[in-house]
Amino acid sequence: MSVIDSIRSQLSPVHPEGYPFIGGFALVAIILMWLWPPLGWLAVVATAWCAYFFRDPPRITPTREGLVVAPADGTVSRVTEAVPPAELALGARPRVRISIFMSVFNCHVNRSPLPGRIERMVYRKGAFVSADLDKASESNERNMFVIATASGARVAVIQIAGLVARRIVPFVREGATVAAGQRIGMIRFGSRVDVYLPEGARPLVGEGQTAIAGETALADLKAAEPNRAFSMT
């Protein structure tokens, strides 16, 4: 393996959604480098950050039936019970909701938490308050999925725009069949993803835990393990 191949193997691929932004940053860097090099170097750093933000690393997803994996990279900011949005037609009874907050340094490609069919997909305009606030689930701009499994379980995934985010990009459509860990969309830049588990499902993560999209197990729909308690010290 050559040195170039070795370096390339250590770098994460960039999602095509990022090409226009990276190109724009690079063009500005070239112009500023010509006008005033110190400012140009700052633009080079900004270009590198942009490429880093749009990274799309491969993930190894556990595929055992019943596992619900994280749809997003980030920090589990809240594990609570809440009633799913009425638009999703999941009933008025509270379910376990796991919220994952993505900072601008996290990978923002979102993945399906389990295999199934996109039974419902709803987009709602809204505000852009900080995504780590609880009211963001109801107030912010969001894109919502209901994924139905072959066994009849229904899991809701909600992409929520944040204070900086101004664009939610879905990669799938209503009616599509998805695999666990499959890319279903992304949010630009900094945001949150909520997961509503089926009634009776128990979370396997706690607040403050780091989640990796497509890999971290959030719940096991076939397990009877009691809830886990986590604390940050």
Catalytic site residue 191?
yes
| Number of DSSP helices (H) and strands (E) in the chain, helices first | 4, 13
Residue 199, CA distances (Å) to 36, 114, 120, 144, 204 in order: 59, 16, 18, 18, 15
Is there a contact between 155 and 69 (Cβ–Cβ < 8 Å)? no
Where do we find the tokens 């999602």? 15
Where do we find the tokens 């459509």? 173
> Going by C-beta distance under 8 Å and a sequence separation of 6 or more, which residues neighbour residue 44?
29, 33
Residue 112 CB-density burial (10 A; 0-12 exposed, 13-18 middle, 19+ buried): buried
Which among 9, 99, 191, 231 is annotated as catalytic?
191
Q: Known catalytic residues?
A: 191
